Amino acid sequence: MKSKYTFIILIGSVLVFSLAFTFLKPTPIYFQIPKGWPKPNYDFSKNPLTEEGFQLGRQLFYDPILSKDSTISCASCHLQATGFTHVDHSLSHGIEGKIGTRNSMTMMNLAWSKSFMWDGGVNHLDVQALNPITSSDEMNETLANVVLKLRKNDKYKSLFFAAFGDENITGQRILKALSQFELMLISSNSKYDKVMRKEAVFTNQEQNGYQLFKTNCASCHSEPLFTNGNFENNGIPLDSTLNDIGRQRITEKTEDYLKFKVPTLRNIQFTNPYMHDGRFNKLTEVIKHYNSITNNKKVSKQLKKSMNLTDNERVDLVAFLLTLTDNEFLFDKRFVYPR
Amino acid sequence: MRTKLLYIIIISLFFQWIYSQEKKDDFLRFNIKYKNESLIQNKKYISLSKDTLQIETFRFYVSNIKLILIDNSEISEEKSYHLIDIEEPNSQIISISKNLNKEIKKVVFSLGIDSTASVSGALSGDLDPTKGMYWAWQSGYINFKIEGKSSSCKTRNKAFQFHVGGYLKPNYAIRTIELETKNSNFEINVDLAELFNVIKLSEINSIMIPGLKAMDIADKAKLMFTISESLPNEK
């Protein structure tokens, strides 16, 4: 009789335990690749996406605790409504009003990126955040100190517990959680995408602009990501106050002088100012630059011939570029400041 | 009742077995030295190049440890990445199963981090970027870091700084160290004098990026590592 009860209690407790574990386990997120897009470059097996990991990353992304004096968060320079870049600022700001040397990049479709930053110095999304965190012109903090600050914070203890199964806060986990948030920033619902999926149609003007885009821009800004991920010299001269030599700083190769990452054109309507140093404020200025590019030896071969578009064609091209605006992405509630 | 007792005995025997297994584990010990003595931080030393120098920071990665036995069989440690730090005595002892029936004839390891780990994103343990051995603006690990002061340096605060790394060819700065030993009771000496004897701090005092200079000093850093065998009963 007694052994029977023991047996029941035993089975019961095993059941309770296993149930508890199913509830405590983070909820996996299925990473959906938009139809017709290539395979992502990010290795999800090393950092499986979960709802809890994503939410932790979102908290960290919006929390100025990452900076030395708790004044600057990632979102200070990467605002959702402008494609996660810093609108109106040609160069990005850091703590104590310090100003960096580059225009903050947009953040979208990062799972497909092979390198990060304007010079491609960063080889993996996980370690990208080390740059703004440690740069003296940006957050001027150390990752080790961020760990110490977060360990004193009860909210983060429970968020790390939910995401990783225990309260241990490490540099690796901080970086991986930030990656989880950033990986989910997928922009694939612009008018362009809907036209490609045959859910919408271009106007004549947009269609004409699309043709012009395919002949003049697509060799670098290749669809569907609108970047080929390479580094090019697009003919804009060196700003002698910044002396930013671009990719050459990383590779130390003279052929990489003034080469910068080809940025995506998605949501370009709102990601001004443009170029690595934010020198153009309007889209029309950018197109004017490419239309009358001064030929020099260093400029990338795709740009050796200037576009020579007529005024009307330039208007059409802008009309097409505006179809890359993805309002569902720019106003997606999952990405907003967490309360 | 009797069965219960039997269980307890079996379980305790099991734990004892596990415990004894652990106890048999052996260590790879790194002795950080300057010439014949243990290195003391901020003590003044004089190199053969006539530089007076003080060491403030000395940290290096030892990875992919492999023990080669007398019959040429190999024992390699999985996920073998260790950060050794002058400031942390525990880090200078790496637990590794040397408990073998056969003698060790050679120990092989890398000074630094291989390119695979350098492109694998955020890693944990000794490879966690909080350790201050990861470059931010250009991805990759710092294989070894030596910082200090010398009156020979015409730099700010007379400081010298060597942050040596790089995982991309042709500036792949990892180095393989192979040390032969006469018996299994050995320790590894890491003698900084051997490095400073072959460089002039007035000429080379700051290496912070991958490149030719880093490659050169990585070659010279190999000289620091030697084996010191001890008598079996000295252990």
- Max CA distance (Å), chain A: 95
Size of the A and B interface in Cβ pairs below 8 Å: 68
Tens of pLDDT, residues B84-133: 999 999 999 998 876 677 889 999 999 999 999 999 999 999 999 999 99
Tokens representing residue A90 in the block:
């040609």
Tens of pLDDT, residues A154-184: 999 999 999 999 999 999 999 999 999 999 9
Smallest Cβ–Cβ distance between A126 and the set B121, B131, B132 belongs to: B121
Which pLDDT score is estimated for A20? 58
Under an 8 A CB cutoff, do B120 and A147 touch? no
Under an 8 A CB cutoff, do A131 and B129 touch? no
Burial of B231 per CB tally in 10 Å (0-12, 13-18, 19+): exposed
Q: What is the ipTM of this complex?
A: 0.85
Residue A337 has pLDDT above 50, yes or no: yes
Q: What angle do CA B170, B173, B175 make, to 5 degrees?
A: 120
Please state, in angstroms and rounded to a whole number, the distance separating the CA atoms of residues A214 and A234: 17
What's chain B's average pLDDT? 89
Smallest Cβ–Cβ distance between A131 and the set B131, B136, B211 belongs to: B136
In angstroms, how far is the first alpha carbon of chain A from the final one?
Answer: 55
Domain with CATH 1.10.760.10 in chain A: 44-187, 191-328
Q: What is the DSSP letter of B230?
A: -
Measured between beta carbons, the chain B residues lying within 8 angstroms of A134 are 136
Residue B212 has pLDDT above 90, yes or no: yes
- Shortest Cα distance, chain A CAs vs residue B112, angstroms: 18
Residue B1 has pLDDT above 70, yes or no: no
Under an 8 A CB cutoff, do B128 and A171 touch? yes
Measured between beta carbons, the chain A residues lying within 8 angstroms of B118 are 123
Check if the beta carbon of residue B142 is closer than 8 Å to that of residue B210. no
Which pLDDT score is estimated for A191? 98
Overall average pLDDT of the A280-286 stretch: 94
Classified as helix, coil or strand, A1 is: coil
Tokens representing residue A310 in the block:
């007529």
Which pLDDT score is estimated for B77? 86
Under an 8 A CB cutoff, do B122 and A127 touch? yes
Which pLDDT score is estimated for B22? 45
Residue A322 has pLDDT above 90, yes or no: yes
Burial of A257 per CB tally in 10 Å (0-12, 13-18, 19+): middle
Check if the beta carbon of residue B188 is closer than 8 Å to that of residue B29. yes
Tokens representing residue B13 in the block:
């025997």
Q: How confident is the model at residue A285 (pLDDT cuts 50, 70, 90)?
A: very high
Classified as helix, coil or strand, B137 is: coil
Q: To the nearest 10°, the Cα dihedral for B121, B123, B126, B130?
A: 70
Q: What is the DSSP letter of A167?
A: -
Which pLDDT score is estimated for A14? 65
Domain ranges within chain B, ordered by starting residue? 27-234
Secondary structure E strands in chain A: 231-232, 260-261
Q: Does A117 touch chain B (CB under 8 A)?
A: yes
Which pLDDT score is estimated for B234? 44
- Which stretch of A270-279, A287-296, B138-147, B226-235 has the lowest confidence by average pLDDT? B226-235
Q: What is the DSSP letter of B96?
A: E
Half-sphere exposure of A279 (CA within 13 A, CB side): 17
Which residues of chain B from 196 to 225 reach within 8 Å of chain A, CB to CB?
A: 211
Superfamily of domain A44-187: Cytochrome c-like domain (1.10.760.10)
Overall average pLDDT of the A198-207 stretch: 98
Under an 8 A CB cutoff, do B121 and A176 touch? yes
Half-sphere exposure of B52 (CA within 13 A, CB side): 4
Q: How confident is the model at residue A297 (pLDDT cuts 50, 70, 90)?
A: confident
Check if the beta carbon of residue A40 is closer than 8 Å to that of residue A49. no
Q: How confident is the model at residue A330 (pLDDT cuts 50, 70, 90)?
A: very high
Query: Among candidates B138, B174, B162, which has minimal Cα distance to B213?
Result: B162
Q: What is the DSSP letter of A81?
A: G
Element (H, E) at B26: strand B26-34
Q: Does A143 touch chain B (CB under 8 A)?
A: yes
Tokens representing residue A72 in the block:
């600057």
What's chain A's average pLDDT? 92
Which residue of B lies nearest to A247 if distances are taken between CA atoms?
B138
Please state, in angstroms and rounded to a whole number, the distance separating the CA atoms of residues B122 and B131: 12
Return the amino acid letter for A251.
T
Please state, in angstroms and rounded to a whole number, the distance separating the CA atoms of residues A199 and A194: 5
Percentage of chain B beyond pLDDT 70 is 87
Q: Bigger pLDDT: A106 or B235?
A: A106
Please state, in angstroms and rounded to a whole number, the distance separating the CA atoms of residues A179 and A119: 20
Check if the beta carbon of residue B2 is closer than 8 Å to that of residue B69. no
Tens of pLDDT, residues A132-154: 999 999 999 999 999 999 999 99
* Topology (CATH) of A191-328: Cytochrome Bc1 Complex; Chain D, domain 2 (1.10.760)
Instruction: Tell me: cis bond preceding A224? Omega within 30 of 0 counts.
Output: yes
Return the amino acid letter for B133.
M
